[in-house]
Amino acid sequence: MIELQHLEKSFGDHHVLKDVSASFERGKVNFVIGRSGSGKSVMTKCTVGLIEPDQGRVFYDGRDFTSMSQQERKVIRQEIGMLFQGSALFDSMTVQENVEFPLRMFSDMSESERHDRAAACLERVELANASSRFPAECSGGMQKRVGIARAIAMNPKYLFCDEPNSGLDPQTAIVIDNLISDITEEYQITTVVVSHDMNSVMEASDTIHFVHQGRICWNGNREGLLEGGVKELEEFVFASDLMRKIRKTV
Amino acid sequence: MRWMYHIGRYMRLLAKSFRKPEKFSVFKDLLLTELESIGLQSVGIVALLSIFMGAVICLQTAHQIGGWIPVYTIGFTVRQTMILEFSPTLIPVILAGKVGSNIASQIGTMRVTEQIDALDIMGVNSASYLILPKVVAGVFIVPFLVVLSMVLGVGAGAWIGVATGLSPLADFEYGMQVDFRVFDVLYALTKTVVFGFILTSVSAYHGYFAEGGALEVGKSSTKAVVWSVVIIMVSNLVLTQMLLN
């Protein structure tokens, strides 16, 4: 479980996070949704330590991440996998080398063990035949799947996905959503997905946190989301005709 | 006061970079890659420039001497010019353009495509992983390139002198040996080590803190070259004053 307690973050005069508290459960896909600029990416960056919050604490299974030294944080970082919006694969490495990279840096595995583990991860995301390609030779969907394979290579306890479906066609997006769901359940990972894609939310979410103007305004699940109740949430969720029609049918 | 902010941030980045590598085997592989990228891939341009510089210095010197100035002055001038200034200063300036822009754009692209964030989240010290091998390779390999430049420049001067009939080989050889001091070569190599450090670390700094997209990466690459050259020139003056006086 990951817990955020009273996170605050400002950039100059711009107060981005205002007393954000949330908990993300183990074995579930926890979605953080909200409009662009609402503060969800900053919240995620504070959670993984890419940005230091001005106030508040982040706990990983009871371990206070915010009060740890960089050296202590390394232990937790090796338990974190992250899928980036743009995949963030290393251009100069092949798909296989990308997946092997965290193993090479942090495990004592032999070269053949690393190779086998990377092959198993690529098999899991159905990319066994793409191992010798470079990221530039892969489609957007393939790059996301390689990103997932790299993220799970170290058997992470926590998985963060930043806009995992951005730039993907609806069919490929569903493949990625299902993959994230399946992996979360299979490995019992605490997964946090930052997204504003309502299709993904309806497809893969177990719990949902709605961020508006730096605050978590609402949290619940898919069914609760369709019920609405909070004005800002309703404006966000039912912005499209399709979602309004779905609400009527439900 | 903006420059003080940059100096402070540069120093902090260096402190973060000069930490023990996560894994020595990985560092060794990266170092070999950088030695090839900075060193071997620069041999062609260094050789080409050095040959033409040495030949032109020979022709210019021959054009200016006459009357009571002995012909061996040509060999002397080519040697001194190449060893004291052209090779140790101009070659790092050229490398700041070739290698520096490459380093800044490579690291800058990694920054804006979140590859550096990916390293940080994995627990890798991104500064040490990306910058340390480049700086060590630069400090180690640039002096070799400069020695190559000295040899080729002086050799080209001798060849053009003989080929054009401006200086017999014996006179050129004599000029090359007149008043030769080993200290001059040591002075040149000392400068080169410092310039190798500057051109790699300053370029890495501009790439590491790039923000935005392709346009900003391009700007950071330009800044890397400009500031590397400016700092090399200022350091050249300071080091020359310290070492020769």
Cα angle, residue A128 at apex, residues A127 and A129 outer, rounded to 5°: 90
Is the pLDDT reported for residue A146 higher than 80? yes
Confidence tier at A173 by pLDDT (50, 70, 90): confident
Range B32-38 contact pairs with CB under 8 angstroms and sequence separation of 24 or more: B33/B133, B34/B133, B34/B134, B34/B136, B34/B137, B34/B138, B35/B137, B35/B140, B35/B141, B37/B99, B37/B102, B37/B137, B38/B95, B38/B99, B38/B134, B38/B137, B38/B138, B38/B141, B38/B142, B38/B200
**Distance, CA of B56 to CA of B148 (rounded, Å):** 17
Does any CB of chain B come closer than 8 Å to the CB of residue A109? no
CB–CB of A78 and B123 under 8 A?
Answer: yes
Q: Which pLDDT score, from 0 to 100, does residue A172 have?
A: 84
Q: Which pLDDT score, from 0 to 100, does residue A29 have?
A: 94
Is the pLDDT reported for residue B177 higher than 90? yes
Who among B115, B117, B122 is closest to A102 (CB)?
B122
Is residue B108 within 8 Å of residue B210, measured between CB atoms? yes
Q: Which residue has the higher pLDDT, A169 or B103?
A: B103
What's the pLDDT tens digit per position in B91-114?
Answer: 999 999 999 999 999 999 999 999
**Distance, CA of A209 to CA of A201 (rounded, Å):** 11
- Cα distance from A210 to chain B (closest Cα, Å)? 24
**Distance, CA of B67 to CA of A130 (rounded, Å):** 74
CB–CB of B115 and A50 under 8 A?
Answer: no
Q: Which pLDDT score, from 0 to 100, does residue A203 have?
A: 84
Cα angle, residue B43 at apex, residues B37 and B44 outer, rounded to 5°: 115
Is the pLDDT reported for residue B6 higher than 70? yes
Which value does ipTM take for this structure? 0.86
**Distance, CA of B195 to CA of B32 (rounded, Å):** 20
Is residue A32 within 8 Å of residue A194, measured between CB atoms? yes
Pick the closest to residue B151 from B168, B175, B176 (CA basis). B176
Pick the closest to residue A118 from A102, A133, A105 (CA basis). A102
CB–CB of B113 and A88 under 8 A?
Answer: yes
Share of chain A above pLDDT 70, in %: 100
CB–CB of A80 and B124 under 8 A?
Answer: no
Q: Which stretch of A224-233, B19-28, B129-138 has the lowest confidence by average pLDDT?
A: A224-233
Is the pLDDT reported for residue B80 higher than 90? yes
**Distance, CA of B172 to CA of B158 (rounded, Å):** 6
3-state secondary structure of A44: helix
**Distance, CA of B10 to CA of B155 (rounded, Å):** 40
The HSE-up count of residue A74 (CA atoms within 13 Å, CB side) is 11
Q: Which pLDDT score, from 0 to 100, does residue A35 have?
A: 87
Q: Which pLDDT score, from 0 to 100, does residue A169 have?
A: 85
CB–CB of A104 and B23 under 8 A?
Answer: yes
What's the pLDDT tens digit per position in B43-57?
Answer: 999 999 999 999 999
**Distance, CA of B149 to CA of B145 (rounded, Å):** 6
Query: How buried is residue A16: exposed, middle or buried, by Cβ count under 10 Å (0-12/13-18/19+)?
Result: buried
Q: Which pLDDT score, from 0 to 100, does residue A97 have?
A: 94
Q: Mean of the per-residue pLDDT values for chain A?
A: 89
Q: Which pLDDT score, from 0 to 100, does residue A52 have?
A: 92
Length of chain A: 250
Residue B135 CB coordination number (10 Å): 22
Is the pLDDT reported for residue A250 higher than 70? no
CB–CB of A88 and B124 under 8 A?
Answer: no
Is the pLDDT reported for residue B10 higher than 90? yes
* CA end-to-end distance (rounded Å), chain B: 32
**Distance, CA of B58 to CA of B166 (rounded, Å):** 9
Confidence tier at B39 by pLDDT (50, 70, 90): very high
Share of chain A above pLDDT 90, in %: 50
Q: Which fold has domain A1-77+198-250?
A: Rossmann fold (3.40.50)
Confidence tier at B205 by pLDDT (50, 70, 90): very high
Does any CB of chain B come closer than 8 Å to the CB of residue A134? no
φ, ψ for residue B227, nearest 5 deg: -70, -35
Q: Residues with Cβ < 8 Å from A83, sequence gap 6 or more?
A: A144, A147, A148, A151, A159, A160, A161, A162, A164, A180
Pick the closest to residue A163 from A222, A219, A83, A77 (CA basis). A83
Q: Which pLDDT score, from 0 to 100, does residue B74 have?
A: 95
Confidence tier at A245 by pLDDT (50, 70, 90): confident
**Lookup: tokens for A31:** 């979605």
**Distance, CA of A114 to CA of A120 (rounded, Å):** 10
φ, ψ for residue A134, nearest 5 deg: -95, 155
Who among A74, A88, A90 is closest to B123 (CB)?
A74
**Lookup: tokens for B222:** 């330009």
